Amino acid sequence: MTVLLYPLTTEKAVGGIDRENKLTFIVVSNATKTQVRAEVESQFKEKVLRVTVLNALNGRKKAFVRFKRLGAAADVASKLKIV
């Protein structure tokens, strides 16, 4: 089962790639931090430092994924064709 739906490409989310080494994903509503971490690590082959989740008012669930290696978020974003 896939928990990642799509990466968020708002101005704030894209700014977090360079400033905080962080990517933002929209995930399924019942996804846990552990599931998000496992899927990101297996899909993109990068170690995750921290996952933070947020249930938005519009019913979507956001996962903020911070990577251990500097520049990893930019590499993953280029694979996803975000930047």
Q: What is the pLDDT of residue 14?
A: 95
CA angle 11, 16, 47 (to 5 degrees): 140
Give the range of the structural domain holding residue 53, as residue numbers without chain letter: 4-79
pLDDT at position 83 is 82
Which residues in the chain show pLDDT less than 70? none
Write down the pLDDT at residue 1.
72
Instruction: Give 51's Cβ-side CA count (13 Å radius).
Output: 21
Structural domain total, the chain:
1
Please report, for the domain that includes residue 46, its CATH number: 3.30.70.330
- Among residues 53, 71, 51, which one has the least CA distance to residue 62? 53
Q: How far apart are CA 83 and CA 27, in angstroms?
A: 20
Tell me the angle at which helices 11-20 and 72-79 cross, rounded to the nearest 10 degrees.
140
